[in-house]
Amino acid sequence: KAGVTQTPRYLIKTRGQQVTLSCSPISGHRSVSWYQQTPGQGLQFLFEYFSETQRNKGNFPGRFSGRQFSNSRSEMNVSTLELGDSALYLCASSLVGAFSYNEQFFGPGTRLTVL
């Protein structure tokens, strides 16, 4: 069965632009979570979507937003990009539950570089 896919894999943007990243979960998974990974801050939870509703949100500014579609695919948007947004953005999917109850399956990530 296909794993979690993320597109694009690499992206270069300039400050002030906005970007949209896409995540397709494993078939049948209804929960999608997003994470930011940087050398300075490590891995940080952005938000989780379940059945098209945001269920949990980490401590990130409102420039970071997301949505989930009826087929469970999810997009993450970052507006007004800053240099500090350069990171590996990871998406993970799980069957139904919150992080505690179900194993999360991670995609390979999207490497965003902001110039």
Partner 1 sequence: AQSVTQLDSHVSVSEGTPVLLRCNYSSSYSPSLFWYVQHPNKGLQLLLKYTSAATLVKGINGFEAEFKKSETSFHLTKPSAHMSDAAEYFCVVITTGGSYIPTFGRGTSLIVHP
Residues that bind partner 1 (CB under 8 A): 3-4, 42-45, 56-58, 90, 92, 98-101, 103-109
**Closer residue to partner 1 (CB): 3 or 16:** 3
Of residues 67 and 99, the one with the C-beta less far from partner 1: 99
Residue type at position 96: V
CB of 16 to partner 1, least distance (A): 29
- Closest approach, Cβ 103 to partner 1, in A, equals 5
**Closer to partner 1 by Cβ: residue 58 or 75:** 58
